[in-house]
Amino acid sequence: MTRLSNETLDALPADVAVPSYDRFAVKHGVVHLGIGAFHRAHQAVIFEAALESGDLRWGITGASLRSAGVRDEMNPQDGLYTVVTRDGSGDALRVIGAVREVLVAPENPEALVERLADPDVHIVTLTVTEKGYKLDPATGALLTDDPDVAADCADLTAPKTAPGFLVAALSARRDLGLSPFTAISCDNLPHNGRRLEQAVLAIARAHRADLAEWIETYGAFPETMVDRIVPATTPADVEKLETALGASDQAMVKAEPFLQWVIEDRFCGPRPAFEKLGVQITADVAPWEEAKLRMLNGAHSGIAYLGGLAGIDFVHEVVAIPAFKRFVEALWDEAEATLSPPPGLDVAAYRTALMERFANPALQHRTRQIAMDGSQKLPQRLLAPIAARRAKGLGVDALALAVAAWMRWQGARDDSGAVHVVDDPLAAVTAARLDGLTDPAAQVAALLSIDAVFPPTLAADEMFRAALVRHLASLSTKGTRAAVEAL
């Protein structure tokens, strides 16, 4: 089957939306670090809209910081790929042309630094997952004992980390007399812009104090909130799309119709007219970010671990079970009390819309996909609202059940005894802490002692600890469905 490419665009079916602008006139104004499915279904869609509006400055150079997989999918297709938007009424297909090239950083780090230092580049976006920032998830401090961070602090001729690449490129731009770019984190980190800035400044200071001062004075690291459910693509998805297109698209992504991007009004150079592209520009992202992390992401994590333990594959299947749906509502009741909703956010309507999104059967969003990297996600999604409630003397029954399910998940077996992979940077640590332990109280104590996940003050909270022990015992002896029913 012929691959999707510039040459095959005209042969696509009439109901497939394709780029209407001159792709060969597009400049490389954006570099994106971590060009996975989420970026292709979210930020790239917005930059595509900018190009369609006639502003051709915002073509994307994508960069993988690890493997060559996405490069090998996209470059043979001239950077083209399809976003398949799915809801109950069917699929809508749009071919995105914003990505001009994909680089693989480990193969040629100098090429990526050179592109980042290009005068046409004004914006750098990142989706490198929480662990890609090399920050302690509990404190936000740079992990200076990480081998890649240590290497970047010693030498930036071939950077290894996302913050290291930014520092190397900003140093090169300064030497060339160029202004900094605006660096926009699009990952689910609290205060993601500030944390990215802290990581960059820490590495910069390890090299030259004046470079760090220049970055801090003239650079910009706006905070953001991003929202769109983007399930992992399966071979069946690729095969179905090939039938619809009449061409093979190895880089396709699928997503729900909903898309939201909120960006702090903090830029240091040119940018697209984001306001005209559906993006919210605001002076304060924090309330939006907090609501999304604690409501959508917190519920997603609870659904992932409880559903996964119960052997349920997809999110929509979990919330179709009345007891699990009641659990989500109970978690939201607890989390909502910790929010300071921004003007324009109707929390009741937001909850209704979230449940409708979770229940979308067309997405096929796997619980095990959401369960990845839990140690990096728990602090902002579940532990932050727990800490806020405990500071007010409030209970945390539903939130604690979600955390207990994460603890149970670390045992690498579901309720049926089936083995699963604990895909997490701290998997070896949690396995070692749990080794040989069968008593729920001992298991809870062992995991609460992981300071990188649990702040000591929260770990010492007796009510929280008791709730975890009770829920973990229920999950272990009765099974997940019974534990959720009991809640």
- The tens digit of pLDDT for each residue in 318-356 reads 999 999 999 999 999 999 999 999 888 999 999 999 999
**DSSP state, 7?**
G
Angle CA 133–226–373, to nearest 5: 45
Residue for token digits 């409501």? 295
What percentage of the chain reaches a pLDDT higher than 70? 100
Segment 182-200 mean pLDDT: 94
User: What is the DSSP pairing of strand 81-87 with strand 28-33?
Assistant: unpaired
Coil, helix or strand at residue 302: helix
Give the whole-angstrom CA distance, residue 305 versus residue 406: 6
Give the whole-angstrom CA distance, residue 197 versus residue 263: 15
- Residues with Cβ within 8 Å of 336's Cβ and at least 6 positions away in sequence, in order, are 295, 347, 351
Coil, helix or strand at residue 28: strand
Lowest mean pLDDT among 62-66, 124-128, 339-343, 430-434: 339-343
Nearest partner of 458 among 399, 383, 406, judged by Cα: 383
Segment 85-106 mean pLDDT: 94
Statement: residue 436 has pLDDT above 80? yes
Mean pLDDT of the chain: 96
347-358 vs 298-309: helix crossing angle, rounded to 10: 30
Residue 141: predicted pLDDT: 87
Segment 455-482 mean pLDDT: 97
Segment 282-308 mean pLDDT: 96
Task: Give strand ranges (E) for 232-292.
Answer: 253-255, 260-264, 280-282
Residue 239: predicted pLDDT: 97
Residue 462: predicted pLDDT: 97
Segment 300-306 mean pLDDT: 98
A 10 A CB-CB count for 256 gives: 21
Please provide residue 13's backbone torsions phi and psi, each rounded to the nearest 5 degrees. Answer: -55, 155
Is the Cα torsion angle 470, 471, 474, 475 positive or negative in sign? negative
Statement: residue 88 has pLDDT above 80? no
Q: Could you tell me if 42 and 259 are in contact, meaning their C-beta atoms sit under 8 angstroms apart? A: yes
Residue 213: predicted pLDDT: 98
